Amino acid sequence: MADNKNKTPILELRKLCRYFGGLKAVHEVDLVLEAHALNGLIGPNGSGKTTIFNVITGIYEPTAGEVIFDGQSIGGLNPYVINQMGIARTFQNIRLFPNLTVLDNVRIAYHPYAGYGMNDAVLHNGKFNQKERELTEKAQDFLRVFNLQDRQAEIAKNLPYGEQRRLEIARALASNPKVLLLDEPAAGMNPNEATNLMELIHFIRGKFDLTVLLIEHQMRVVMGICEKITVMDFGEVIARGTAQEVQRDKHVIEAYLGPGADELSKQYLKEKAK
């Protein structure tokens, strides 16, 4: 079953460009994400990775080229429309409602699908009360999936960093997406937290039948979890392939040994190039 899914592209970038004046942040990028894949998008700082996520999710319009999702062109659509179509994302910097409870952070993500209108909410009628109870139960069930059920009454900003990341991913999945874009989910994590994150990503990919595209600077996470990897530098694709292929590619090594690379990535690729 998985083999058949993997032959079907769910997200495609075709000669995608995004320019800011004379800066070519993304230039003629081609990328094919097959259904149910778990792929990586890597590159030194400033190589255009997050800009690609911003174009895919409607924060930026493409300067040129196309974004095709599930057979439809979505370039330039509003972010909420793209989310409703089935693309969700997380951000480099965790974006939660920090002063709300863990439970309410997930409940809010469910509200666009609550099933009642403004009049019901104003009147607090029977329909409103029933749908709110159902929404709460659904959010509680969801928190169990992420092992956050015992934290549901806590204020989100008081959670440990790793649990805040899990909560952000849970909120993204509450919209029932087909594609999940993760922007540096392991940033700031210690090795144990990063290992737990890798296990979580594998788990949710299977449980929710997701396709995942991952930006990450922790090379051990990317190389350990991603089936295929696309490497960018200065807004362009310089390599693509399996972890074993890209980590020995001379263009990748040169890019990561340059001034834009972090020290952990440099060390990792030096070791693999031996």
- Per-residue pLDDT of 4-52, as tens digits, reads 444 679 999 999 999 999 999 999 999 999 999 999 999 998 999 999 9
- Give pLDDT tens digits for 153-164: 999 999 999 899
In a domain, 131, yes or no: yes
* Segment 87-110 mean pLDDT: 94
Residues 111, 152: one domain?
A: yes
Strand order across the beta sheet in which 179-183 lies: 87-89, 179-183, 211-215, 38-42, 228-233, 236-241
The stretch 141-166 carries a mean pLDDT of 94
Do 75 and 196 share a domain, yes or no? yes
Total domains in the fold of the chain: 2
> How does DSSP classify residue 39?
E
Residue ranges making up the domain that contains 125: 98-175
pTM, to two decimals: 0.88
Res 264: pLDDT: 56
Does some domain include residue 106? yes
Residues 207 and 149 occupy one common structural domain: no
Q: Are residues 146 and 42 in the same domain?
A: no
Residue 64, in any domain of the structure: yes
Same domain flag for 181 and 79: yes
**189 within a domain of the structure (yes/no):** yes
Considering the domain architecture, whether residues 60 and 185 belong to the same structural domain is answered as: yes
Task: For residues 81 and 193, state if they share a domain.
Answer: yes
Residue 272, pLDDT above cutoff 80: no
Look over the chain and give the mean of its residue pLDDT values, rounded to a whole number.
Answer: 90
For 216, the token pair is: 């990450």
pLDDT band at 112; cut points 50, 70, 90: confident
- Give the distance from CA 18 to its chain's centroid: 20
Q: Domain for residue 187, yes or no?
A: yes
Burial class for 256, CB neighbours closer than 10 Å (0-12, 13-18, 19+)? buried
Give me the CATH number covering residue 65: 3.40.50.300
188 and 63 in one domain?
yes
Residues 76 and 24 in one domain: yes
Residues 258 and 268 in one domain: yes
- Whether the per-residue pLDDT at 236 is higher than 80: the answer is yes
Answer with the one of 129, 153, 175 that is the final residue of a domain: 175
Tell me the average pLDDT across 111-124: 82
CA distances for 96 relative to 1, 10, 216, angstroms: 36, 28, 20
220 pLDDT exceeds 70?
yes
Contact 226, 198 (CB under 8 A): no
65-74, 85-94, 265-274: segment of lowest average pLDDT: 265-274
The answer to whether residue 260 scores a pLDDT higher than 80 is no
Q: Is 14 part of any domain?
A: yes
Distance between CA atoms of 96 and 196, rounded to whole angstroms? 20
Report whether pLDDT(256) > 80: no
Any domain includes 105 = yes
> Is residue 54 domain-shared with residue 182, that is, in the same domain?
yes
Indicate whether 93 belongs to any domain.
no
19-33, 50-64, 111-125, 232-246: least confident range: 111-125
Q: Is there a single domain that holds both residue 237 and residue 261?
A: yes
Q: What percent of the chain has pLDDT above 90? A: 68
Among 116, 148, 175, the domain boundary falls at 175
